[in-house]
Amino acid sequence: MDQFIFFLKYYVIPFLLCSTISFIFLLIIKRIHYQYHNAYQLAINKRIYPFLIEIVLNSPNKEALKEMLSGFRTEIWFHRSWCKDMIINDLIHLKKNLKGRPLKNITLIYKSLKLNKYSNKLIKDFRMHKKCEGFYHFQSLGYKSGMPLISQYLNHPNKIIRSNANIAYLAISKGDWDAVNTLPPKISILNTIKVMDVLYHQKLPMPEEVNIWITSENKTILKLAIMTMVFYNYRNKSTAIISLLDNDDIMIKTDVIIAIRELFLNEAENKLIHHLEFETTNIKLEILNSLAIIGSEKTTDYLQNKMITEPDTDLKLAMVYCLNKLNPKLLNQLGLRDSDTEKMIRHTRKIAS
């Protein structure tokens, strides 16, 4: 027992005390370093953005630009990665908010500061997030000289790398839709959002390949086809769209129901009413929202026979909403036959007003 107390008194307690003091000291040093470093980064960032705006808008000649950039590099910690990231992010911000001739100066600055080599280095890095960051630089700045490097990753075994490479290639090429065919099927939401973002910002013409995509077995491409048709208000493949109501994938089925609503595909009414008999509650709710837009007397006849006896409160409320859109007078008559229905009618109309 005496030996244990001796060991505790002269070894364990001093060790724990020294460790605690060292840890506290380390935290203090780290906090001081962070405060100083953060303040320095903010100061540099305030210097970078006005400088870039001045160059981009004033369009100096090559010699003057070279001299200005040379002096600029000596004023900041240009050799640090975080500083290069700041400059690139500011260039991307300017490119998104400027139009016309100044855009050429952005690419010129990017190349003159050899930031394209920094982006190249990121893409060749073994870490996935670094590669994707490099793809983003090329995509956002529209750096066409980077396309050969990006093309090496269009069929990469890693799905995330392949996805980001394809989206970047599509954006830079402004419509090389062959890249879409290699999109991975398992991150469809992210992929389709990225592609639709490219369509919106690049203002690309509708790809003719959409007629092929709508028959694809790749769920990503199928989802993309539906969203593209809605984006371009393309109704020529309405039969193919409606047939996808029988698809087993819930996300695809939901997108189809929304597409029917957005494209006003009245010919889908019978099939939507049929699917109300056996689909899940969430799908039924989506169908009723679409029928409220494209429905006719067929829908009102179905609802007046179904609504009063519907046990599911959410579905019944959706039916009330739908019928209120299509035939308010008929809904008033049904409300007189059932107090719950009457309450839902008042609730629906109160929200609508």
Among the residue ranges 27-31, 40-44, 206-210, 338-342, the one predicted with the least confidence is: 40-44
Q: Give me Rg for the CA atoms of the chain.
A: 30
Residue 91 parent element (H or E): helix 81-97
What is the residue range of 92's domain? Answer: 47-113
Does 134 fall in a domain?
Answer: yes
Taking residues 4-13, report their average pLDDT.
69
Question: How far from the centroid of its chain's Cα atoms is residue 61's Cα?
Answer: 39
Question: How far from the centroid of its chain's Cα atoms is residue 291's Cα?
Answer: 28
Does 186 fall in a domain?
Answer: yes
Tell which residue, 154, 150, 174, has the closest CA to residue 162: 154
Q: Are residues 81 and 152 in the same domain?
A: no
Does 135 fall in a domain?
Answer: yes
Out of 170-174, 194-198, 256-260, 300-304, the most confident range is 256-260
Q: Are residues 145 and 192 in the same domain?
A: yes
Predicted TM-score (pTM) above 0.75: no
Q: Are residues 101 and 143 in the same domain?
A: no
Reported as a single tens digit per residue, the pLDDT across 252-303 is 899 999 999 999 999 999 999 999 888 888 999 999 999 999 988 898 888 8
Q: Are residues 128 and 98 in the same domain?
A: no
Output the pLDDT for position 206.
80
Output the pLDDT for position 117.
92
Does 210 fall in a domain?
Answer: no
Does 214 fall in a domain?
Answer: no
Output the pLDDT for position 259.
93
Among the residue ranges 65-79, 186-200, 207-221, the one predicted with the least confidence is: 186-200
Number of domains in the chain: 2
Output the pLDDT for position 256.
93
Taking residues 210-232, report their average pLDDT.
84
Does 102 fall in a domain?
Answer: yes
The more confidently predicted of residues 307 and 270 is 270
Please tell me whether residue 341 adopts helix, strand or coil conformation.
helix
Last residue of a domain, one of 81, 113, 145: 113
Does 140 fall in a domain?
Answer: yes
Residue 198 parent element (H or E): helix 188-202
Tell which residue, 155, 146, 158, 76, has the closest CA to residue 117: 146
Does the pLDDT value for residue 95 go beyond 90?
no
CB atoms within 10 A of CB 109: 23
Output the pLDDT for position 220.
76
